[in-house]
Amino acid sequence: MSNMTEARAGAGAAAKAAPVLTPTYEGDYVLAEHFPLESGRTLAGVTLHYAVYGRLNARKDNAVLVCHALTGSALVGSWWPEIFGRDGVLSLDHDFVICINMLGSCYGSTGPGSVDPETGFVYGPDFPLVSIRDNVRAQAQLLDSLGIRRLRLVLGGSIGGMQALEWAIHDPARVERAAIIGVAPLTAMGLALNHLQREAIQHDPEWAGGHYLPQRPPRQGLSLARQIAMLSYKSAPLFDERYGRRPNRNGEDPWGLDNQGGGLIGGRFDIAGYLDHQGERFIERFDANTYLAILRTMDTWDPLHGRGSAAEVFGRIRARLSFVGISSDWLFPPGSVRAFAETIRAAGVEADYVEMTSDHGHDAFLAEQAELVRLLQP
């Protein structure tokens, strides 16, 4: 989630970055008809923004679908470059890789910043709840239009993994393998973290109930939400190693006398400087209403909700599932991912579980791509 936000972390992160890949094609697909949502609302004129890498072969059986995480985009070659390549999970020589921007996003698909063709106004806070299942159904229409009836692999981390599993449930015949990385239905702690991020945005006076002006977005609230999220994407050992109890690298003095805000607000520690920097970068690239929309998509995901028993729902799956837990992930703890995989396996599904050993926390699937590739090899 923060692969684009590690500049301040120093040379370590930068040295690992693989060159960004350019998509073969990037564009929009507009659904032919009004799109009924699980919640009962209907969206008109739904646009899906997507990017593809490599070439679809004549038999159209070499497609791989990548599902992005909360603040990601369709440009998987930019944020996940290392899963491509000679030893990668994906090959530009053999695979046709497609990544579709989620509904609700601010990166090209229909979202709160889009104009509702029914009213002529921007959706803003009236943008409806779009579920993970809604996203999968919309993505299926785009794949249909491309003639793709077979997916060799669907994969994603975090909310991307939610989509990957829903694909295996939604269209069992189309999915050969799904890789579900660092995810299970949100626990109470995960729901709590999202609730506080939502509050941070809503409390910003510029939020104006979601009717903020584009030139006056709720910057402080969105920044604080991102910073809360960053805690949950990283791990305590990583923070100790990188920042410890050191004063902020710009020379502020946490013990000093003369600080902005009198005596109550001290000079920052380095971890605080890092978090503020992450917040500042984020508000340059993301929209607050989109953030709220996708948080809700994430919160409400439970593959069994309103659907039936584990045996009935997971029993449909024909794909081979690969679950990956991350040892230091406390947003989606590895124990939850493993238990989730076991529940699904108990329904007769072929479902492996492997664990990444990493201090990077939830973010490891973006921060340690080479290790992820190694684990995902067949």
Q: Does 200 bind a copy of itself (CB under 8 A)?
A: yes
DSSP labels for 125-171? GGPPP--HHHHHHHHHHHHHHTT---EEEEEEETHHHHHHHHHHHH-
Among 56, 191, 339, 354, binds a copy of itself (CB under 8 A): 191
Among 28, 87, 302, 352, binds a copy of itself (CB under 8 A): 302
Interface mask (CB under 8 A) for a copy of itself, residues 29-48, using x and -? ----------xxx-------
Q: Which two tokens stand for residue 377?
A: 């090899």
Q: Is 220 exposed, middle or buried (0-12, 13-18, 19+ CB in 10 A)?
A: middle
- Provide the H-helix boundaries in the chain: 11-16, 76-79, 132-145, 159-170, 188-203, 219-233, 236-242, 270-285, 288-299, 310-314, 334-345, 364-367, 369-376
Q: Does 261 bind a copy of itself (CB under 8 A)?
A: yes
Q: Does 247 bind a copy of itself (CB under 8 A)?
A: no
Q: Does 18 bind a copy of itself (CB under 8 A)?
A: no
Among 331, 336, 357, 284, smallest CA distance to 190 is for 331
Which residue stretch of 50-58, 173-181, 197-205, 315-323 sits at the interface with a copy of itself (rule: CB under 8 A)? Answer: 197-205
2 in catalytic set: no
Q: What gap in Å lies between CA 276 and CA 249, rounded to an integer?
A: 13
User: How many residues form the binding site for a copy of itself (CB under 8 A)?
Assistant: 69
Among 50, 239, 286, 314, binds a copy of itself (CB under 8 A): 239
Q: Minimal distance in Å, beta carbon 79 to a copy of itself?
A: 24
CB burial of 160-176 (b: ≥16 within 10 Å; e: otherwise) equals bbbbbbbbbbbbeebbb
As beta bridge partners, residue 122 has: 115
Q: What gap in Å lies between CA 308 and CA 313, rounded to an integer?
A: 6
Whether residue 266 contacts residue 286, with contact meaning beta carbons closer than 8 Å, is answered with no
From the list 171, 287, 362, 363, the catalytic residue is 362
Among 378, 371, 269, smallest CA distance to 328 is for 371
359 in catalytic set: no
**CA distances (Å), origin 138, targets 60, 134, 150, 161, 275:** 20, 6, 16, 17, 35
Among 266, 277, 347, 371, binds a copy of itself (CB under 8 A): 266
Among 19, 188, 215, 378, binds a copy of itself (CB under 8 A): 188
362 in catalytic set: yes
Q: Minimal distance in Å, beta carbon 81 to a copy of itself?
A: 29
From the list 73, 158, 235, 358, the catalytic residue is 158
> Is 58 or 265 the residue whose CB approaches a copy of itself more closely?
265
Among 32, 93, 173, 245, binds a copy of itself (CB under 8 A): 245
Which residue stretch of 24-32, 88-96, 122-130, 157-165 sits at the interface with a copy of itself (rule: CB under 8 A)? Answer: 122-130
> Is 142 or 292 the residue whose CB approaches a copy of itself more closely?
292
End-to-end CA distance of the chain: 25
Among 120, 251, 262, 378, binds a copy of itself (CB under 8 A): 262
**Rule CB under 8 A: which residues touch a copy of itself?**
39-41, 112, 124-129, 185-189, 191-193, 195-196, 198-200, 202-205, 209-210, 220-221, 224, 227-228, 231, 236, 239-240, 242-245, 254-257, 261-266, 268-272, 275, 289, 292-293, 296, 299-300, 302, 305-306, 330, 333
For the annotated catalytic residues, the residue numbers are: 158, 329, 362
